[in-house]
A and B are shown apart, each in its own frame.
Chain A
Amino acid sequence: MTETDTARHGPLHDIHVAAGAAFTDFGGWQMPVRYSSDLAEHHAVRTAAGIFDISHMGEIVVLGAEAGAALDYALAGRLSTIEEGQAKYSLLLTEDGGILDDLVVYRTGADRFLVVANAGNRDAVAEELIDRAKDFDCEVYDESDDMALIAVQGPKTREILTQLTPQLEEVDLASLKYYRCAAARWNGHELLIARTGYTGEDGFELYIAPDAAAALWTAIIETGQGSGLVPAGLAARDTLRLEAGMPLYGHELGRDILPVQAGLGRVVHINKEGDFVGRAAVEAGPPEGARVLVGLVAEGRRAGRAGYPIVTESGEVVGEITSGALSPTLGHPIAMAYVDPEHAAPDTHLAIDVRGSRIPATVTAVPFYSRKA
Chain B
Amino acid sequence: MPDLNALKYTADHEWLEIDGDVVTVGITDYAADQLGDLVFVDLPQVGASVQPGAVVSEVESTKSVGEVSTPIAGEVIERNDAIIENPELVNADAFAGWLFKLRIDPAALDATSLLSRDEYTEQIGQ
Contacts and interface: CB of A to CB of B under 8 A. Distances in A.
Interface of B: 33-34, 36-37, 39-40, 42, 58, 60-65, 91
Nearest to B55: A355
Interface in A246-265: none
A38 B36 contact: yes
A39 B62 contact: yes
A328 B60 CA distance: 13
Nearest to B65: A305
**Closest 10 CB pairs between A and B?**
A301-B40, A38-B36, A39-B37, A326-B39, A38-B37, A235-B63, A325-B62, A38-B62, A239-B62, A37-B37
Contacts, number: 43
Q: Which secondary structure characterizes the binding site on chain A?
A: mixed
Interface in A14-33: 22, 33
Nearest to B40: A301
A325 B37 CA distance: 12
A266 interface: no
Contacts of A235: 36, 62-63
Nearest to A37: B37
A238 B36 CA distance: 13
A189 interface: no
B36 A326 contact: no
Interface in A230-244: 235, 238-239
Interface residues of A, number: 20
Given A302-B40, A305-B64, A328-B39, 13 more contacts: A33-B36, A34-B36, A37-B36, A39-B39, A238-B63, A239-B63, A302-B60, A303-B40, A325-B63, A326-B39, A326-B60, A326-B62, A328-B62
Interface of A: 1, 22, 33-34, 37-40, 42, 235, 238-239, 301-303, 305, 325-326, 328, 355
Contact of A1 (B34, B60, B62): B34
B29 to A, nearest CB: 13
27 contacts: A1-B34, A22-B33, A34-B36, A37-B36, A37-B37, A37-B91, A38-B37, A38-B61, A38-B62, A38-B63, A39-B39, A39-B62, A40-B37, A235-B36, A235-B62, A238-B63, A239-B62, A239-B63, A301-B39, A301-B40, A303-B39, A303-B40, A305-B64, A305-B65, A325-B62, A325-B63, A326-B40
